[in-house]
Amino acid sequence: MGTGKLELKRHEENPILVANPDHLWDGGTVFNCGATVTDDGKVVLLYRAVAKGYEKKPNGKGYMNYISRIGYAESEDGIHFSRRSDPFMIPDTDYDLFGCEDPRVTKFKDSEGLRYFITYTAMSAPAFSGRGDRVAVASTLDFSAVEKHGEVIPDLSDKDAVIFPERVNGKIVMFHRIEPNIQMVSFDSFDEIFNPNREFWRGYLNRLEDHVVLQKRYEWEAEKVGSGPPPIKTDEGWLLFYHSVDKNSVYRCGVALLDLDDPSRVIARSPVPVLEPEEDYERYGDVNNVVFPEGAVLLGDTLFLYYGAADTCCALATVKLQEILDYLSKCKV
């Protein structure tokens, strides 16, 4: 087990993205943002937004009139963002009619060219109902338009899916989370992802434990774990930030290092959180005590980690990449 603690530095201007009072669609709350860097150097955030007018349920559990859309923001420095006046993605299909939530963005380049894949939670039933959570995928060439590819894991409550930024041993690799652990699935082509074979998934689910990558292990992960941003490739391995939930429903952030050739093999893992709710904007909001990482980009030698705070705003923490790798070298499993 490792010693010491990795220190991620919260940006002094946090939160970096909050609800926009000039808009209806993202005037209620904004949070949980995926991130990528375009070829021309812009940092793009796709963030979850809820319109003005939602209300707490009478029983105090969740909200009414609560439908998420996905907004677009861009930045030259990764800190100060301008956003579009209209949503980037809206609920407009049977499988996401009640919301498009928690986007992750993967910049994927292969022989067919560059495309950005967006994994998100598609809500086919009202939020907080305990049903209707599905993994869906969309894609875009340049963020000027988006194409939805539909549900990709059929008939299954599932979240926190991320696609790797390149093929691994010729395969397209995706992590997802059937509670309480993180699982891995591989495909030969994107067509296989977009057109799910129910027989394949039945066999997969029958052997679900064989596909587990990261299990809940520590007290601060006692309820469940789930992928954060898409894994980042380093010389030492795939860097995976993930969120965890404890018995008191506190959301924290951990980090793990996975084998480059076999991402199901965990090389190292933080024994303590690398980020947890401490600031007021993380401790108090629509859901208290939440740090939820979803976006990560490398700018020079510094990793920018974007996270949702208390389901109310988007925040930023930074750390040198080498610091992460040095820390994980002491946390081998």
pLDDT in tens, 37-59: 999 999 999 999 999 999 999 98
Domain 9-328: give its CATH architecture. 5 Propeller (2.115)
**Cα angle 223-180-149, degrees, rounded to a multiple of 5:** 130
Query: What are the backbone dihedrals phi and psi of residue 284, each rounded to the nearest 5 degrees, phi first?
Result: -130, 130
User: Mind listing the pLDDT tens digit for each residue in 101-121?
Assistant: 999 999 999 878 899 999 999
Most confident among 57-61, 155-159, 182-186 (mean pLDDT): 182-186
Is pTM beyond 0.85? Reply is: yes
Hey, what are 179's tokens? Answer: 């509670």
Strand pairing report for 313-320 and 302-309:
antiparallel
* Two tokens, residue 168: 């691994």
Instruction: Give pLDDT tens digits for 193-214.
Output: 999 999 999 999 999 999 999 9
Burial of 249 (0-12, 13-18, 19+ CB in 10 A): exposed
What digits encode the pLDDT tens for the residues 62-76? Answer: 899 999 999 999 999
Residue 157 is given by DSSP the state -
